[in-house]
Amino acid sequence: MSRYALLLLLGAWIAAPLGAQEFPQEPENHTLVVERLMRYHDYGEYDREIQVVADSAREYLARVVKSAPKDDKLAAVFDIDETSLSNWDAMAGCGFCAYSVERKLYSEDHDPAIAPVLGLYNFAKANGVTVFFVTGRRESERATTAKNLTEAGYSGWKELIMQPDGNKLPASVFKPKDRQAIVDEGYRIVLNIGDQASDLAGCCAERVFKIPNPFYLLP
């Protein structure tokens, strides 16, 4: 065997076992993930998918309103962040950093409305459906949040349900309890809309609608 062939054989013997056993494939580079998320938003796919969900929710709500008994107290529950209001500027500006970092770098008092959801919200109100906001935002943010919602075009909600300062429970735990409290007031929640699976988990809505959100995940 020639020296060249021997070196090739030795190289293959070293590279294959070590490469497979000691150096597992690394996760996708963060920069590539950010670029893909930016394209998803900037090329219009994100907005298109939100519109599809909002249109479906509106069609469903129209059927419910038409067939509901007159004495039913119909209610709809809306999440806030990435459902009713957009934090896109903060997310994109910091490269999809943690929410706690976003809040230090960017103010949350001028988040714009997500237009298709605002349209759904106004449709619900115009058809006699009582609207509630149920959010993971803390009580210390109430004044800022209420002001932002109003300035973004949301008005006339029944209640803005927020969480105690220091709350560490996940949304999948506290949001069902908040919706149950609404039901206990005599309301029939016919629609619940949010961007996280945890917004929609548990009781007490008859129909749920999920807005797309590949930007972050909340339990």
Domains detected in the chain: 27-210 (3.40.50.1000)
Beta bridge partners of 208: 192
Among the listed residues 74, 157, 73, 83, the one whose alpha carbon sits nearest the alpha carbon of residue 117: 83
Mean pLDDT of 154-161: 98
How does pLDDT run across 117-134, given as a tens digit for each residue? 999 999 999 999 999 999
pLDDT the model gives residue 10:
40
Question: Could you tell me the pTM of the whole model?
Answer: 0.87
Check whether 8 has a pLDDT greater than 60.
no
Return the structure tokens found at 13: 């013997």
Q: What pLDDT score does 4 carry? A: 41
The sign one gets for the Cα dihedral 123, 126, 127, 130 is: positive
Tally DSSP H helices, then E strands, for the chain: 9, 5
pLDDT, mean over the chain: 90
